[in-house]
Structure 1
Amino acid sequence: MSRRDIEFTSEGTTLRGWFYPADNANGKLPTVVMAHGFSAVKEMYLDRYAEHFAANGLNVLVHDNKSFGDSDGLPRQEIDPWLQVRGYRDAITYACTMEETDPSRIGVWGSSFSGGHAIVLGAIDSRVKAVVSQVPLINGYENLRALVRPDFIDGLRASFDEDRLNRFRGEEPVMVPVVDEDPLASSALPTPDSYEWFTKTGETRAPNWRNEVTQRSLEYLSEYIPESFIDKVSPTPLLLMPAENDVLAPTRFAIAAYEKAFEPKKMIILPGGHFDAYVDAFELSSGEALAWFQNQL
């Protein structure tokens, strides 16, 4: 499997990643653009998806989001969804300049937080001709309330305001853990499966992953509602793949949002929880995504 390191500029910041040319290919071919979800870096199984797609006739461009992994950007570990969407759009532009790419056949793939980005991109970027959204964030406002106890919400909002004031004064941003072994402790993703997946995957595949994000990342999460774009993706084909028992990005949000989308669309419910898509359900999730891209591109 051939792979080369790439870098491109997005709003003055260098983003880095990998380009996988399709195996044994000639001429210009479809290209899939990918990035990872909340705090995750490309080494956390995106290479497996890219290798599978490239082995079956698709070019793939994988990049780390701004301020994460190998990409530049300050403050580090800050998740701004709209900056990440624009990073995807700059990745698409870069991909279109490559000699291997047919610019009229661009697909986007996203998972979890970036699954929301894929929906938004399908609605706003006319260059996107096929969308795959896996275990997606659908509604950050509601999702935060599904993860945080109601009696903690006011305190969380107060901490957002305090952090905003301190940053205005020139102080460093407050950092919070992405995950914690204790689901009742303060963390961005307070579910046991989040702790298990991030710590295990970080140790075995991605030593450059860091267990922290800025607190403002949670405020941005609460303001981000990809669901508001899902009825605008059509006529671009949309494949939505929620997990059947997703407690991090609740399954019910994705199924309800799917009903708002117009044709052409397809939904595959993956077995297991949020993170099983990358491991136990990898063959299904990657196979369905591959078939979608092959059929639509």
Structure 2
Amino acid sequence: MDIEFTFPSIEVRRHGQHVLVARLCTDLHGLLGRDAARDLALFVKKADRDPSVRAVVLTGSHPERFVGHADLAWLQEDGSVVPPLGRRVMSAVVWLALMLNSNPITRWVARRTPVQGALQLDDMHKTLNLMSTSSTIFVAALNGSALGLGAEIAWACDVRVMADGDYVIGHLEVLLGFAPGAGGTQRLTTLVGPHRARRLMLEGSPLSPAEALRLGVVDEVVPTSEVVQVGVRQAEILAARPQSAIGAIKRSVNAGITRGLRSGLRWERSEFLSSLPQREAQQIMLDYLSDTERDGELPVYRSGGYGSALARGRANGGEPELDPSPAPKLPDSATYGVQTVQFRSGSSWCRAWLYVPHHAGADSPVPVVVMGHGLGATRDLGLAPYAEEFADRGMAALVFTYRGLGDSGGHPRQILSMKRQLQDWDAAIAHAVSLPQLDSERMAIWGSSLGGGHAIATAARHPELAAMVAQCPFTDGVASALALGPGKSMALASPIVRDLVAVARRRPAVMVPIAAVPGGAGLMSTVDALKGMHALVPVGHQWRNEAAARSVLSVLGYRPGRSAHRIAVPSLICISTTDTVAPPKTAERQLRRSPYADVRTYEAGHFAFYVGAAFDQLVTEQAEFLEAHLRPDVRGAPTISASRGSDEQTP
């Protein structure tokens, strides 16, 4: 589910796959007013509902203030329409506001009466309570001072990182003639205890960064220039944990605080019992048991096991160490280098080859092409020659292998999930953006076969890309199944059913060949499939010609060609007129719907695109197309800030 995060008072950008950085756009003085509070409420609700968002980093737009405090004009105006009432009467007003706010019709009416202030306060409480109980992690990157409502927003976050300097955090409300109203009296008390909280609020005394750290109300104090970066790092660490467990822990802790020990323990029991059957928890426990049986030792007690679990966010024994596929050997005359790197994707990682021209650097970044392969294929099956041609022309290339295949991480293995592979594309793009020697404003993506379909779907979601190339693209699972014929398709029915039964019984996957003999039961069983795939495997390399049978269902329901009309970047589409794997007529019809697509056809088979004369023609035309749109001849072009991604290069 993709949810649009656009708000007048909040600047939102994605950082990698699962982290949002939200900058609260306060006014000239750093005050948070009525409109900004409404936007914050909508943003928190959307972040909580979007399963792709696992963590949010909140920071301020004012250079020295996270949130100065609430806009007093807002509070004064709403307060002036209600006559002075005693606490008992006002308690009844609050109760009435809660009732009115629970129904859309009565809410609309009540917002036009003097109780509107109580409704807005109820909305703020709901927002901060949701932050405290959501399965999404909230991190306060306090780029400056946070007083009053600013402090209350920070108290509702799970992690607080504060900038070092002449900044303060705390409650000044008593100095303005009123008490904290958005949970400050309760949340600060849980952080520092009732006596100290009461004294701080009665005096209106704020805390310096050092005092806040000593009392434990912030988790880290760092230089101002690093506060968002450190906040993102903390968010990524916690986002790697299973989300269902995160939510259960937060809700249980909150119940104990708000309802007392006995109620909190009852809440904890219910959360514990409801989290055990979750698919992610079950998989982690099964992996843990399997790894214990395999190694004869509990995974967290192995040397480095606990540290590895902390780094990954889960203790399922860790993935087996996989030797990286050796990077291609380059001639001494090569104008570029290549190294093996890895980047995080979801709860695991992808390995890749990074080709970079020798002249690239932070001061002279070069354009980059992110490249992914086809059905069950790894990067060492015919992609290196394309990447080498692009690199020789001054363009970097990041050639990655999907999770669960080859030397990339991911468990279980050999399961082809279109959703996970698209996540890998997003992670690869984020990694390329994070590298200072690469120019993220001159980025293209390149995909072949199924990877061509992924490139189409990814380009439709990433209008910031400069170009896209898709060759012999897979565009429609249904069309491919029909082209395969009913007999060959039905041959896969039995292994699919047996594999689904194995999933239900938590047994090993039932495998089928990725490329089978002609007419056999496999994902590809055309006359050229098996021979064509084996021809791409380099000497000394191994490729697992098998995938879980359930993968067929993911492929069958995948129809990336339908998103072609949404592509808004220059695209080169190279179609084989004799393609036996990806029906060419369907691909051509779908892709010509995009006004940005340059569709070209070639008299060469699906697997001929990687070798011989067809390859020579294709790589030349593709390189010229990329040169025209990425302009590798331009040195030192401006780049987008590396804060759009944070994966670090790993040799």
TM-score, normalising length: structure 1: 0.93
Distance 1:185 1:155 in 2: 8
Q: Tell me which residue corresponds to 1:188.
A: 523
For 1:39-118, what aligned pairs fall within 5 Å after superposition? 39-118=376-455
Following superposition, the deviation at residue 207 of structure 1 comes to 2.1
Percent identity over the alignment is 29
Distance 2:488 2:579 in 1: 22
* Residues 1:291 and 2:627 are matched in the alignment: no
Q: AA paired with 1:219?
A: L
Q: AA paired with 1:61?
A: L
Q: Tell me which residue corresponds to 1:275.
A: 607
Q: Tell me which residue corresponds to 2:342.
A: 7
User: Any idea what SS the aligned residue of 1:44 has?
Assistant: coil
Q: Tell me which residue corresponds to 2:352.
A: 17
For the 8 Å contact 2:498–2:510, the answer to whether it is kept is: no
Following superposition, the deviation at residue 105 of structure 1 comes to 1.3
Distance 2:539 2:527 in 1: 19
User: Any idea what SS the aligned residue of 1:76 has?
Assistant: coil
Question: Which stretch of the first structure deviates more once superposed, 157-166 or 213-222?
Answer: 157-166
C-alpha deviations, 1:32-70, integer Å up to 9, x for none?
001111111111111111110000010110111111111
User: Any idea what SS the aligned residue of 1:268 has?
Assistant: strand
Distance change (3 Å), C-alpha of 1:48 and 1:230:
same
Following superposition, the deviation at residue 208 of structure 1 comes to 2.4
Following superposition, the deviation at residue 163 of structure 1 comes to 2.2
Question: Which stretch of the first structure deviates more once superposed, 249-258 or 19-28?
Answer: 19-28
Following superposition, the deviation at residue 230 of structure 1 comes to 0.4
- Aligned partner (choices 28, 33, 48) of residue 370 of structure 2: 33
Q: Tell me which residue corresponds to 1:172.
A: 508
Distance 1:197 1:158 in 2: 26
Distance change (3 Å), C-alpha of 1:159 and 1:45:
closer
Following superposition, the deviation at residue 23 of structure 1 comes to 4.5
Higher RCO, 1 vs 2 (CA within 8 Å, ≥6 residues apart): 1
Q: AA paired with 2:542?
A: N
Q: Tell me which residue corresponds to 1:242.
A: 575
- Backbone CA RMSD of aligned residues: 1.7
Question: Which stretch of the first structure deviates more once superposed, 112-121 or 284-293?
Answer: 284-293
Following superposition, the deviation at residue 29 of structure 1 comes to 1.5
Distance 2:491 2:598 in 1: 40
Q: Tell me which residue corresponds to 2:499.
A: 163
* Residues 1:251 and 2:584 are matched in the alignment: yes
Instruction: Give structure 2 stretches of 5+ with no counterpart.
Output: 1-333, 631-651
Question: Which stretch of the first structure deviates more once superposed, 278-287 or 103-112?
Answer: 278-287
User: Any idea what SS the aligned residue of 2:451 has?
Assistant: helix
Q: AA paired with 2:556?
A: S
For the 8 Å contact 2:488–2:519, the answer to whether it is kept is: no
Following superposition, the deviation at residue 82 of structure 1 comes to 1.6
Question: Which stretch of the first structure deviates more once superposed, 155-164 or 84-93?
Answer: 155-164
Distance change (3 Å), C-alpha of 1:206 and 1:186:
farther
For the 8 Å contact 1:44–1:205, the answer to whether it is kept is: no
Distance 2:358 2:576 in 1: 30
More helix by share: 2
Q: AA paired with 1:3?
A: V
User: Any idea what SS the aligned residue of 1:90 has?
Assistant: helix
Distance change (3 Å), C-alpha of 1:154 and 1:199:
closer
Q: AA paired with 1:166?
A: A
Q: AA paired with 1:191?
A: T
Q: AA paired with 1:266?
A: D
Question: Which stretch of the first structure deviates more once superposed, 41-50 or 253-262?
Answer: 253-262
Q: How many residues align?
A: 292
User: Any idea what SS the aligned residue of 2:416 has?
Assistant: coil
Distance 1:156 1:25 in 2: 49
